[in-house]
Amino acid sequence: MSGVKAQVTRYNRQADDYEAKIVRSQEQLEPFSEHGADLYAMLADIESRFLVA
């Protein structure tokens, strides 16, 4: 039974490590996401100026 508990503990640690990596990746990508939203808004503004409906 202790072998099963040890395996579960390892899996839980791996899951925690993966979760931490995901959070770090999301934090690293956040500035790009904000910049992308700004560029999209700028493009929409440019299109609205030059496209005739």
C-alpha to C-alpha distance for 28 and 15, rounded to whole angstroms: 20
Token digits for 45?
Answer: 């503004």
Predicted structure pTM score: 0.56
Q: Tell me: the pLDDT tens digits for 16-53?
A: 999 999 999 989 888 888 888 889 899 999 988 888 65
The full set of domain ranges for the chain reads 1-53
What does the DSSP 8-state code read for residue 1? Answer: -
**pLDDT value of position 23:** 94
